[in-house]
């Protein structure tokens, strides 16, 4: 249960009632589903004016308590809404998540305007009717092997904390976003948690934690939004790593992508349905996806489970070559990241073979 102070509750309701994505009953339902709270929707009155509906949602979720050991129901809801508000509102929601120990906030996303897309979900679904989605059963086995190298990243400072996703690209090197790990000053408060997932019965698995290596490799680029960091203990020898290639991988519009992630700091999940490439150009690939927000630093993989991009943002995304905006997710092309890396780090990635 979350007992919000009167002033915190007042400010929260004032913020939420003006979010366009909470303006209608249908959109409120969709946000609750995105927050993995679908099972609670029948018990909440989400009809009526925004102020009334938002008050009902906050009241119910506050009283409901925790869905899991780590996650308050209200925390899941607020963490999801971070993707739909501005930077100042994100900071306020982060403050609430931390103050009331609801969950670890997701890493703040790069500034992106509210989306007003010309393509809708219905438009995209219409384009995929009749597609052959048959895959060999080994497709799933390979995906599970790849998923082992994906880790939850938790960052804590004296003032705040946040989470993201990363993945091993060598036995001791991990790739994530610059906005998840922007500075080496954060490394002393950073953990990497592998095998943070649940089995089919929903039971938590035994995790394995590592830390960045003191005075180890740390290289970051804000414009390409990536960070490479060295991890103590060489976790790749146990969990494997994803081999990166300098050879450009063919990426076509309407091809599928798969994204392995820790959405909203939750146990590992995968999005592999209805994720379609919509644009490739500049340093980025853009795609539509049904995945939850908050998965910064996840690997974007093709149907051969090859890493094609580093997931980093979503919203009203600008196409670099057309200068038009669409509601999409976006990843930085791996070939652009490799081209930017110093030669000494690049040699470690390319020449270390994963056996």
Does pLDDT of 254 surpass 70? yes
Per-residue model confidence as pLDDT tens digits over 126-142: 333 345 677 788 999 99
Q: Residue 130: its pLDDT value, please?
A: 43
Question: What's the pLDDT band for 294 if we cut at 50, 70, 90?
Answer: low
Most confident of 68-77, 101-110, 125-134, 160-169: 160-169
- Cβ(226)–Cβ(332) under 8 Å? yes
Question: What's the pLDDT band for 119 if we cut at 50, 70, 90?
Answer: very low
Per-residue model confidence as pLDDT tens digits over 128-178: 334 567 778 899 999 999 999 999 999 999 888 899 999 999 999 999 999
- Cβ(304)–Cβ(288) under 8 Å? no
- Cβ(92)–Cβ(85) under 8 Å? no
Pairing state between β 190-194 and 150-156: antiparallel
Q: Residue 275: its pLDDT value, please?
A: 84
Q: Could you give the CA distance from residue 229 to residue 232 in angstroms, rounded to a whole number?
A: 10
Least confident of 45-59, 64-78, 275-289: 64-78
Does pLDDT of 312 surpass 70? yes
Structural tokens at position 141: 């086995």
Write down the mean pLDDT value for the chain.
87
Does pLDDT of 217 surpass 50? yes
């Amino acid at each position: 249960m979350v007992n919000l102070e009167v002033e915190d509750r007042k400010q929260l309701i004032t913020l939420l009632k003006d979010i366009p994505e909470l303006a209608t009953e249908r959109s409120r339902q969709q946000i609750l589903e995105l927050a993995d709270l679908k099972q609670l929707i029948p018990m909440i009155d989400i009809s009526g004016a925004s102020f009334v509906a938002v008050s009902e949602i906050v009241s119910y979720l506050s009283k409901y308590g925790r869905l899991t050991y780590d996650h308050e129901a209200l925390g899941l809801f607020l963490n999801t809404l971070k993707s739909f508000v501005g930077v100042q509102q994100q900071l306020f929601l982060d403050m609430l998540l931390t103050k009331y120990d609801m969950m670890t906030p997701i890493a703040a996303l790069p500034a992106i305007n509210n989306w007003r897309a010309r393509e809708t979900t219905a438009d995209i679904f219409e384009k995929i009717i009749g597609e052959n989605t048959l895959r060999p059963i080994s497709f799933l086995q390979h995906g599970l092997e790849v998923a082992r190298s994906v880790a939850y990243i938790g960052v804590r400072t004296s003032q705040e904390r946040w989470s993201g996703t990363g993945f091993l690209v060598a036995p001791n090197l991990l790739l994530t976003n610059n906005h998840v790990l922007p500075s080496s000053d954060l490394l002393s408060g950073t953990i990497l948690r592998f095998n943070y997932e649940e089995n089919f019965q929903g039971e938590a698995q035994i995790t394995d934690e590592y830390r960045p290596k003191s005075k180890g490799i740390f290289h970051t680029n804000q414009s390409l939004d990536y960070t490479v960091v060295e991890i103590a203990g060489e976790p790749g020898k146990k969990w494997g790593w994803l081999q990166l290639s300098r050879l450009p991988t063919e990426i076509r519009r309407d091809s599928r992508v798969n994204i392995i992630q820790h959405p909203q700091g939750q146990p590992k999940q995968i999005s592999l349905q209805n994720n379609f490439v919509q644009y490739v150009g500049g340093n980025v690939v853009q795609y539509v996806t049904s995945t939850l927000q908050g998965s910064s630093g996840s690997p974007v993989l093709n149907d051969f489970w090859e890493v094609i991009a580093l997931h980093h943002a979503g919203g009203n995304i600008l196409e670099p070559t057309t200068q038009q905006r669409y509601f999409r997710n976006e990843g930085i092309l791996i070939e652009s990241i490799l081209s930017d890396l110093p030669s000494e780090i690049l040699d470690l990635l390319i020449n270390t073979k994963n056996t």
